[in-house]
Amino acid sequence: MSLSITYDLYRYNAGNAKYEAVSTQADLNLQTDLRAKDTSKQVPEEPTVSEQDQAINTHVSGLYTTPVDGKELEYPFYSESKWSGGDWVDLSEGGSVVYRVYQTGTDPEGSNLFLEVATVGG
C-alpha cells in the first residue's frame, strides 16, 4: 500500500521563530516546479514514523539529483512532527522530512528556505 505525499515550501522567520508558507511569486514558482518533478507523489506505507521518514527520503533523494530552478536540497531533517497550522504537530503515523533549499554554489546554512515533504494525514 502507498501513501500520498505533499511538498510545501516555507521560509523561516527568525524574528518570530516561525516557518511561514512562501508568498513571493519566485518562491511560489519554485514550489510549483519542485512539486511537478514528482509525478507520483506516492511513497510506500511503513509501520513507524521513523521508517516512513526513511521511505520519504529515499523517494525524494531519487528524484532531486539535479538542481531545480538553480536550487538544491540539503541533507534531510527527520522529524516526529510536521508543520501544521503555524506550529509543530506530533505525528502518530505517517512521516515528515524537511530539507533546506539553497542556491547552487552557495553555503546551504545561509538559506532560510525549507521544503517539507510529508504524508497526507497522520
Question: How many structural domains compose the chain?
Answer: 1
The confidence score (pLDDT) of residue 17 equals 85
Please give the C-alpha separations between residue 11 and each of 52, 70, 89, 93, in angstroms, as whole numbers: 24, 17, 18, 25
How much is the pLDDT for 60?
A: 96
pTM passes above 0.75: yes
Q: Is the model more confident about 73 or about 122?
A: 73
Range of the domain at 22: 2-119
Cite the beta strand spans of 24-95 per DSSP E.
42-44, 71-79, 81-84, 87-90
The pLDDT value recorded for residue 89 is 73
